[in-house]
Structure 1
Amino acid sequence: MVELLLLVGLAVALFVGFNIGGATTGPAFGPAVGSDAISKTAAAALMSLFFFVGAWTIGRRVVDTLGTELVTDPGVFSIESSIIVLFFIGGALFVGNYYGVPASTSMTAVGAIAGLGVASGELDWAVMGEIAIWWIVAPIVGFWVSGMIGRYLYPRINRWVAIVSTPGPLTELDRSGTVPRPRLGPNTTRREFGGAVVVVAIGCLMAFSSGTSNIANAIAPLVGVGVDIDLLILLGCTAVAVGAFTIARRTLDTLGNDITDLPLTAAIIVAIVSSVIVVGLSAIGIPASFVIIATTSIVGLGWGRATRTATFVEVVRGERTPNVSVGALAAEEPGEEAPPIGEEEDHTIPAASDLFDPTTTGRVIVMQNVVPIISTVGAYATFSVLFRVW
């Protein structure tokens, strides 16, 4: 009977890992995919590799602490309770992935464990309170930092970085020689290629960060009942890879294309802002909800760029022009077309509808709150009934 329950637990843990791959690949590589710096298949491969590196190294520490600090008595993790916790984590994440919205694995996992802790009377409210406060503060910081950059600094940064997306592939294979070798695409500039490398590298950093924290969400309950951690990390990372290559394609579309038009410059800004916040939270021991932070950063940047309608002092052709309406400066000369989105100068503001989709944004925000609630309430209700029976 115990062996059968253990197999069920492993199957549920793999299901959780599958959904983690689907939920976290989008925030990590959505900017890179949305800016055509990398394909969905390459994003899934990099996600799998760097997630494993993070899980195999630092992730072990998070596995050890998740099942001991959030509850005052780790003994509440039996095989049966672990299966139920993992079931609610995987089920709730699957709901988000089904709708193409990457939900926070950390919030969903902590919610399920908190439901167990409340039902058993073993939840450490001080630890839970500290985590909850940071979960509220961090996305707000990400939104406003990205929003202010988009509203006031984006055109200047765009000229400084000077990364313009060109049509066609970034790289291609040169088959003129005996051995094919990669080379820049026919329209690719070295600066554009360098920007693509930067945004992909930051995506790899976020994938690594995801591995350090999210592997615990899939396997920590089973480690608590004595299953070998090395085996669980290998199995969990395999399941994450499967999710990255399959269901993550929908979240990559949502994060890279549907919320906001994301040229390379914008992708770099979003990746840097969200990864800095995630690393900062990890450094102080908070399970970072980088899905939420990355999403709100993308939304904030799109909102900031779409709402640059205030008047301001700006230099136009070397002359300082005070209190000039942005709308009046949409083009250099009367009748001249404004540059494409992401290539505008200080005085060019694209239409809001081209940069920011409120409908998709609302769906993302609603689902990212609903998924952890499903996990928390479902686990609490189930364990409340079971503890009365047991």
Structure 2
Amino acid sequence: MAEVLLFVGVLVAMFVGYNIGGSTTGPAFGPAVGAGAVSKSTAAALMTGFFFLGAWTIGRRVVDTLGSDLVTSPGVFTLETSIGVLFFIGLALFVGNVFGVPASTSMTAVGAIAGLGVANGALDWAVMGGIVIWWIVAPVIGFWVSLVIGRYFYGRLDRLLAMDQTEGAVFQVDRSDGLLPTVSVREDASNREAIGVVSVVVIGCLMAFSSGTSNIANAIAPLVGSGELAMNPGILIGGLAVGIGAFTIARRTLETMGSDITDLPLTAAIVVATVSAALVVFLSFIGIPASFVVIATMSIVGLGWGRATRPIKVTDAVRGEAEETPPVSVHALAADGDGDPAPPIGEEDPSDIPTPGELFDPATTARVVLMQNVVPLISTVGAFLTFRYAPFF
């Protein structure tokens, strides 16, 4: 019977890993895909490799701590309860992926474990409170940092990087000279554009690595904590499942993060990825499960909003002299890329704001924000009700 339960547990853990791949590939490589830096298949391959690298190196530490720090009694992780926790994590993430929204894996997993802890009176409220505070603060920081960059520095950054995008792939691969292919920059693409492409992909790889350090625990920590699954096989199983999710269901979240919310030029993609990656690394450094999916989303929104508000001076807005706040534009992020000096704040021509059909998509943004809060709630409430009232637990 125990062998059957373990087999079921491994299948559920792989289901969780599958959905982790689907929900975290978008935030890591959505900006790169949206900017045309890499294809979806290349993004999936990079996500798989760097996620596994992060999981195999630092991730095992998070696996060891997730089942002990958040609950006061690690004994609550039996084989049966571990399967239940993994089931609710996977179910909630699957709901987010079905709607094409990259839900926070860390929030979903912590929510399910918290539901188990509350149901058994074993939740460490101090640890939980610290995690929740940072979940609120970090996206706000990401939004405002990106807004300030978009409003005051984006034009200068865009001219400095000079990355006017050309059609097609920046790099071309030549396989005619033997077994080893040679990679070169396409003739009509600039070296600075190539540097920009490499930069945004490297940052995506860093985010994938960071995801592996924290999110592998969300898939296998309950089983490893119960003593039923060894660490190394667990990481191999979880990494394989994440790769499957990255190559399949992640295509929808890549579209959401890369094009449906906003049409990111390469400079904007680098800004969003840099801000998000920096916050994720900081949160991981202080031991907080990083909700980088929310941070990345709010960074995109903040950058677009900052670019769209350039026609209005802060003093005019405070005095009420501005007729109205300009709409947030997806193509406002691409402004100032023609080499001309950016107009001073408040003197930018409002007619440069695109038509309503080109505006920042509020419906997609609302769907993303709503689902990113609903998905963790599903896992938390479902786990609590099950572990509190189900007789077989």
TM-score normalised to the size of structure 1?
Answer: 0.90
- Taking the aligned partners of 2:106 and 2:359, their CA distance within structure 1 comes to 29
Q: CA deviation at 1:164?
A: 1.3
Partner of 1:317: none
Q: Report the AA paired with residue 262 of structure 2.
A: T
**Partner secondary structure for residue 285 of structure 1:** coil
Q: CA deviation at 1:350?
A: 3.9
- Taking the aligned partners of 1:106 and 1:173, their CA distance within structure 2 comes to 38
The unaligned stretches of length 5 or more in structure 1 are 314-322, 328-337
Partner of 2:328: none
Partner of 1:190: 191
Partner of 1:298: 300
Partner of 1:77: 77
After superposition, the CA RMSD in angstroms is 2.4
Q: CA deviation at 1:269?
A: 0.5
- Taking the aligned partners of 1:307 and 1:33, their CA distance within structure 2 comes to 26
Verify: 1:249 aligned to 2:251, yes or no.
yes
Q: Report the AA paired with residue 378 of structure 1.
A: G
Relative to 1, partners in 2 of residues 1:153 and 1:60: Cα closer, same or farther, differing over 3 Å?
same
Q: CA deviation at 1:355?
A: 5.6
Q: CA deviation at 1:188?
A: 1.0
Partner of 2:8: 8
Partner of 2:224: 223
Verify: 1:168 aligned to 2:168, yes or no.
yes
CA contact (8 A) 2:262 2:360 kept: yes
Q: Report the AA paired with residue 48 of structure 2.
A: S
Relative to 1, partners in 2 of residues 1:299 and 1:307: Cα closer, same or farther, differing over 3 Å?
same
- Taking the aligned partners of 2:120 and 2:55, their CA distance within structure 1 comes to 29
Relative to 1, partners in 2 of residues 1:8 and 1:339: Cα closer, same or farther, differing over 3 Å?
closer
Q: Report the AA paired with residue 93 of structure 1.
A: L
How many aligned residue pairs are there?
370
State how 1:326-337 maps to structure 2 within 5 Å: none
CA contact (8 A) 1:164 1:342 kept: no
Relative to 1, partners in 2 of residues 1:268 and 1:355: Cα closer, same or farther, differing over 3 Å?
farther
Partner of 2:363: 359
Partner of 2:337: 343
**Partner secondary structure for residue 183 of structure 2:** strand
Percent of pairs identical after alignment?
65
Partner of 1:276: 278
- Taking the aligned partners of 1:286 and 1:352, their CA distance within structure 2 comes to 42
CA contact (8 A) 1:306 1:355 kept: no
Q: CA deviation at 1:273?
A: 0.5
**Partner secondary structure for residue 83 of structure 1:** helix
TM-score normalised to the size of structure 2?
Answer: 0.89
Q: Report the AA paired with residue 118 of structure 2.
A: V
Verify: 1:207 aligned to 2:201, yes or no.
no
Q: CA deviation at 1:339?
A: 11
The farther-off stretch of 154-163 and 251-260 is 154-163
Q: Report the AA paired with residue 287 of structure 2.
A: G
Relative to 1, partners in 2 of residues 1:144 and 1:357: Cα closer, same or farther, differing over 3 Å?
same
Q: Deviations over 1:59-79 (max 9, x none)?
A: 011000000010000000111
Q: CA deviation at 1:168?
A: 2.1
Q: Deviations over 1:99-125 (max 9, x none)?
A: 110000000000000000011110000
Q: Report the AA paired with residue 271 of structure 2.
A: I
Q: CA deviation at 1:372?
A: 0.3
- Taking the aligned partners of 2:127 and 2:213, their CA distance within structure 1 comes to 19
Relative to 1, partners in 2 of residues 1:175 and 1:110: Cα closer, same or farther, differing over 3 Å?
closer
Q: Report the AA paired with residue 18 of structure 1.
A: Y
Partner of 1:28: 28
Partner of 2:121: 121
Relative to 1, partners in 2 of residues 1:73 and 1:136: Cα closer, same or farther, differing over 3 Å?
same
Q: CA deviation at 1:224?
A: 1.1
